[in-house]
Amino acid sequence: MTRNHTPLPLLKDLSADNAAKNGDAVAFQDDTETVTWREYEERSKTAASVLAEHVSQGDRVGFYCKPSVQHAALFNGALKAGAITTNFHVRTAPASFRHCVEKAQPRVVVVDEELADSFDENVTPELLDGIDAVLTIGSPTYEYERAVQPLLDAAAPRELGDIVEELAFGRALFDGLLVEEIRELDLFLVVFGVPVPEEFSADPNQYREQNVEGRPFS
C-alpha cells in the first residue's frame, strides 16, 4: 500500500512558526492565565533550557499533570530539548501507572502540586531511583520534588536539540508503540528515529515494537 506524504514541520517548531506569523494571537489559556504564541514560544525555550540540565536527545520526560498553560509550555520545551514526551494518565490504576513508567523510563517527571500525593502513592522507590528529577508545577510536597518555577525564573530562553518525529499509520497499543491494522489510517508520531518509507507494508508485524525499539536516532 502506497502512502504519499508531504513533509511537515516538527512539532517542536510549530510554536516558533506561529510566533513569527501571528505572535500576538492567543495560543493557550486556562483558568489562571492566557499566553500569546510569542509568549508561549519564549516560555517553551526557557523550559527547554531547564530540562536540558537533565535530558539529552532521545531521553524521556513524563508528565503527571492536568491540562494547563504551564503543562503545555513544559511539554513543548521538552521537545525543544530533544526529549521524547509522554503524558501519564492521572486516573490510571497504580499497577498500570507503574507499568507505563517502567516502559517509558523517564529521566524527568513533571507533576502538578495537587497530584503530588497521587504520584507518591503510585510510584515505587525503585522507579524513583531511575528518575533524575521530579519537577513540580507549584510547591513541592515531598523531599524528592523540586519546584520548577524558580528554575524557569533563573533560566534564559534558548533553542536546543532536535527530536526525530516521523509519521506512520496504525493503532498504538497501550503498552507501547505496537502498530496494528495498518489500513486504519490513524496518524502517529513514531519517535524511535526510524525513517518513514514511501511505501507502507500491509504487514503490521513490520511495525511492531520489537522491530523499532532500540534503533539509533538519526
Q: Which residue has the higher pLDDT, 193 or 103?
A: 103
User: How sure is the predictor about 53, in pLDDT bands with cuts at 50, 70 and 90?
Assistant: very high
DSSP state of 216: P
* Type of residue numbered 107: R
pLDDT of residue 136: 98
**pLDDT average, residue stretch 193-207:** 48
Q: What is the pLDDT of residues 100-124, one digit of tens each?
A: 999 999 999 999 999 999 999 999 9
Q: Which residue has the higher pLDDT, 176 or 158?
A: 158
- The pTM assigned to this predicted structure is 0.69
Decide: 170 and 59 in contact? Cβ < 8 Å. no
**pLDDT average, residue stretch 187-211:** 45
Query: In this model, does residue 160 exceed pLDDT 70?
Result: no
Q: What is the pLDDT of residues 143-153, one digit of tens each?
A: 999 999 999 99
What percentage of residues in the chain have a pLDDT greater than 90? Answer: 60
**pLDDT average, residue stretch 88-97:** 92
Decide: 66 and 112 in contact? Cβ < 8 Å. yes
Question: Residue 19: CB partners within 8 Å, gap ≥ 6?
Answer: 37, 38, 40, 41
Question: Residue 80: CB partners within 8 Å, gap ≥ 6?
Answer: 12, 44, 45, 47, 48, 159, 160, 161
**All domains of the chain, ordered by start, with CATH?**
39-154 (3.40.50.980), 166-212 (no CATH)
Which of 188, 171, 161 is closest to 5 using CA atoms? 188
Q: Which residue has the cell 523510563?
A: 105
What percentage of residues in the chain have a pLDDT greater than 70? Answer: 68
Strands 187-190 and 133-137: unpaired
